[in-house]
Each structure stands twice: as C-alpha cells, then as structure tokens.
Amino acid sequence: MSATLETSQEPMITVCVKNTQGLPGVDWFPGTDRFLYFGVGADAGGEELFKSQQRKNVADPVWNEECKLPAGRPLKFTVFKQMQREGGRHRLCKLRLG
C-alpha cells in the first residue's frame, strides 16, 4: 500500500515514476521470489515520504505511480530488492533530486 506525507505549509509537486531499465544486481536464485520497489525520502534525515507497490520477479519493473512530494527540499529516490527467503532489503540504485 502506498502512502504520502503532505503538509499544508509546504508547496507540493507531483512526480510520476514510470519504470526502470538495466538495474544492477537484479538477478536472483531459482525458487526465490524477488520483489522490487522504490522509496522516496528526504535527502537529509532519511524520512520516508513514499513507497511504491512491489513488483514481483521482473528485471525492468513498470510502476506508473504518482506521488505528491515537498517541492522545497532535496529528495532521494532509491530502488530496493527484497528477497522473500533472505528477508531484509538491498539497495540497487539511488537518484538524488534537488
């Protein structure tokens, strides 16, 4: 389930993340489910502002998800791989805006 954090004091922008291609380290072992998702957080402080739906067992996930984010501060987009058997999550890549 996706969630957004909105405050009435800050101007907001709408961001649409369509898809990713060529992610490093997306391989997985047979018989293990792998889930990919992205999260958006404040670059300073690490507060999570949005988390996408998970995409199961795909190398080039398509999300087409929109989220409202604060316009006045730097943001960090991170794509994570979560393995069902291993538990925990592994960062595949990140992008900083702002």
Query: Up-side HSE of residue 65: CA atoms within 13 Å toward CB?
Result: 21
Report residue 66's pLDDT band, with 50, 70 and 90 as the boundaries: very high
- 48 lies in a domain? yes
Q: Give the C-alpha separation, 82 to 34, whole Å.
A: 6
- 3 lies in a domain? no
Q: Is the pLDDT of residue 1 over 70?
A: no
- 39 lies in a domain? yes
Which is nearest to 60 in space by CA: 93, 84, 13, 97?
Answer: 93
CATH code of residue 16: 2.60.40.150
According to the model, what pLDDT value does residue 57 have?
81
The model's pLDDT over 4-52, given as tens digits with 9 standing for 90+, comes to 555 458 799 898 989 888 877 666 666 566 777 888 886 656 678 888 8
Q: Which domain holds residue 62?
A: 12-22+30-97
- 69 lies in a domain? yes
Q: How many domains does the chain have?
A: 1
Contact residues for 84 (Cβ-Cβ < 8 A; gap 6+): 32, 33, 34, 35
- 61 lies in a domain? yes
The model's pLDDT over 72-93, given as tens digits with 9 standing for 90+, comes to 878 888 888 877 665 677 777 7
Q: What is the mean pLDDT of residues 43-71?
A: 83
- 58 lies in a domain? yes
Q: Give the C-alpha separation, 59 to 74, whole Å.
A: 28
